[in-house]
Amino acid sequence: MYMVTVDNAKCDGDGTCANLCPQAVFSVDDGKADPVNMNECINCLTCVENCPQQAITITEM
């Protein structure tokens, strides 16, 4: 299982993570990405590698 963290100070809510995540981990709420389905994360790092703001980190729990 992985902990998906979004730095809200960096996130601009452009939705890149939500659009690219193959597991639908993210939702964009109130202009910020929210890892609402964190338990579905497979650590593919697509979100981390494509976030223009570098606002996402994933750590193994």
Separation of alpha carbons 61 and 58, rounded Å: 9
Query: pLDDT tens, position by position, for the chain (61 residues)?
Result: 999 999 999 999 999 999 999 999 999 999 999 999 999 999 999 999 999 999 999 999 9
Note the pLDDT tens digit of each residue in 4-19.
999 999 999 999 999 9
Task: Give the predicted TM-score (pTM) of the model.
Answer: 0.94
Confidence (pLDDT) at 32: 98
- Residue-number span of the structural domain to which 36 is assigned: 2-60
Give 59's contacts (C-beta < 8 A, 6+ positions apart).
Answer: 2, 3, 5
User: Residue 55 sits in a domain of what CATH number?
Assistant: 3.30.70.20
Provide the domain count of the chain: 1
Separation of alpha carbons 10 and 1, rounded Å: 24
Confidence (pLDDT) at 34: 98
